Amino acid sequence: MALRGVFGRLWLALSGGGARSGPPLGAVVRSQYGPGTLGYWSGMDVRWLGERSPANVQPWQRKLMRKDSQVSLGLAALKSPFFGIDYFLKGGSQQARAFLQKTLLEAPYWNSLLWSVLNSMDFGFVSHEYVWSIEDVELDSDDGVAAPATLPSRYVIKRLRDLDPDRCEILIDEWDQLVGVRVMNVTLPTERLLHVVHEGEFGNLRGASVLDRAFPHWYDNVVNVIHLNRYLEQKGNPPLIGTAPNEIRYDDRKPRDQQTGRHCLDVLSEALASLRGGGLCLLPDERDDKGTPRWSVTALDAKERVEQFLPVIRYNDAKILRALWVPERIATQDSSVGSFAMSDVHFDVFLLALEVKKERTVLGPLNEVAQALVRYNFGRSESCPRVMATGLSRSNNDTLKEAFLKILQVPQTLPDGRTYNAAQLMKINEILRILKIPQHRIDDVAAPPVPQPAPLAPDALVPPPNPPTKGEPEPTESDQDAI
């Protein structure tokens, strides 16, 4: 036993087994859904909530939800801030940055690509098909290159076709890795595919839609509005109430033995049915001993119940916005309580929440497109620049603004002793042209110089100050200090 231990230690020393070993490679836990088509994830709460379950929302239902006024307002507030920030490139070579600036950030499909990437929040995922073409790319000198240059025969993206999620079947392997998307009878491999997933946790390639959280409140509002409209329709054509004598009468123009008497209530019932159909109703003027009409027709007086529907509808509207991460006070003001300061704080919290979506949902797919452009045009060895974006928080922008204004006034000194400041480096005319601000000619707005007063001669006498007027005391030292 001891001999085996000695030989074991000797073998480990000779084979290098005593050195630090690496981690185990590869995966062990296999997929419970693949290989094959990735269906909808677990619907355990479907049995609990039924048709109102957020786990049972289909893509066609999400399309209906986007047509709702409150949902469309929330989605617009959720997506519009991403179009108000600046996107730029960082890292990589100058040529790669200039190429991506021209073929990605300044491409005609940029805004549609950004909007389609944001649509992944609506449906959970959006798949895109790369449509490539070969073109000459002209790089501008402002993109970081010393002089304008033209790169011949480069692979550029002509368009990125966003595919309807309702028609897409996601294909995965046994390790939950994406292998393609099937649309009708066409299967797109991963090389031709940009698959954008929103909140794809636990390897869920179908993602999670923000509309699923709002689905129960949207469904309740749809039902409540239908009931409210039915109630208002009934109020527009209310039930009728009639009174008639409780007796049987005959037609005096015919013998009684040749006719059957009719009850007055039956006659009134036929008259009310005629009124419902748009006909005419004539009532005899018969009165009792007290002068009260024995025949009458009135409408049922129903109390106002609209106010019972409105609080529920407002409650669901507020819940819809909260489900979309939109504080209701920054978009609506349905209640009488609130202030501008409170709305301002809610807006700052909302922008802080969007920072998370900017990093996870927006910049990730854009960097994937940038990597594809660099890989096909410069090879895998080329360092790919990263697509970055300015911050959404207003506090960061205010801080940067104050720091920038202070930097403009800081003097800088050259090695030869000359001084300048950053404000002198700015071309005002060029900035106004980029911002498309109209400007006048300098000669039209320049004011003439103000003439300086002639200096006094050394022997000139200065006139004394005017004496105080009669009735006014001379100012004392305390008065002069106050002045």
Contact 40, 206 (CB under 8 A): yes
Least confident of 42-51, 303-312, 447-456: 42-51
Task: Please name the residue that has the structure tokens 């699923």.
Answer: 212
Helix (H/G/I), strand (E/B), else coil: 33: coil
Place 283 in a pLDDT band, splitting at 50, 70 and 90.
Answer: confident
Element (H, E) at 227: helix 210-236
Cβ contacts of residue 77 below 8 Å, gap of 6+?
A: 324, 326, 330, 331, 350
Q: Average pLDDT, stretch 31-35?
A: 70
Query: What's the helix, strand, coil split of the chain in %, to 5?
Result: 45, 15, 35
Asked if pLDDT for residue 390 goes beyond 70, the answer is yes
Tell me the per-residue pLDDT of 400-421, one tens digit each, with 9 for 90 and over: 566 666 666 777 777 787 887 7
Gap between the Cα atoms of 78 and 331, Å rounded? 11
Q: 38: Cβ–Cβ under 8 A, 6 or more apart, which residues? A: 169, 170, 171, 172, 205, 206
Element (H or E) spanning 401, and its range? helix 394-408
Identity of the highest mean pLDDT range in 37-51, 134-148, 303-317: 303-317
Q: Residue 145's pLDDT is what?
A: 44
Q: How many CA atoms lie within 13 A of 361 on its CB side?
A: 30
Kindly indicate the confidence band of residue 114, based on its pLDDT and cuts at 50, 70 and 90. very high
Which one is predicted more confidently, 295 or 329? 295
Q: Could you tell me how far CA 356 lies from the centroid of its own chain?
A: 13
Nearest to 135 by CA among 112, 167, 166, 102: 102
Q: Where are the domains of the chain?
A: 36-212+351-389, 239-253+264-299
pLDDT digits (tens, 9 = 90+) for 466-475: 666 655 555 5
pLDDT the model gives residue 194: 92
For the cut 50, the answer to whether the pLDDT of residue 171 exceeds it is: yes
pLDDT for 207 equals 86
Confidence of residue 14 (pLDDT cuts 50, 70, 90): low
Q: Would you state the pLDDT for residue 425?
A: 72
In the predicted model, is pLDDT for residue 19 greater than 60?
Answer: no
Q: What is the mean pLDDT of residues 426-445?
A: 73
Looking at the chain, how many residues does it have?
Answer: 483
Q: How far does Cα 471 stand from its chain's mean position? A: 74
| Per-residue pLDDT at 116 | 93
Contacts with 112 (C-beta within 8 Å, 6 or more apart), sequence order: 160, 162
- For residue 191 the two structure tokens come to 């090389």
Whether the per-residue pLDDT at 337 is higher than 50: the answer is no
- The yes-or-no verdict on residue 449 having pLDDT over 70 is yes
Mean residue pLDDT across the chain: 78
Binning pLDDT at 50, 70 and 90, where does residue 395 land? Answer: low
Separation between Cα atoms, residue 239 and residue 299, nearest integer Å: 6
Task: Check if the beta carbon of residue 35 is closer than 8 Å to that of residue 173.
Answer: yes
pLDDT of 43 higher than 70: no
Looking at residue 131, its pLDDT comes to 93
Taking the complete model, does pTM exceed 0.75, yes or no?
no
Q: Worst-scoring range by mean pLDDT, 92-96, 193-197, 425-429?
A: 425-429
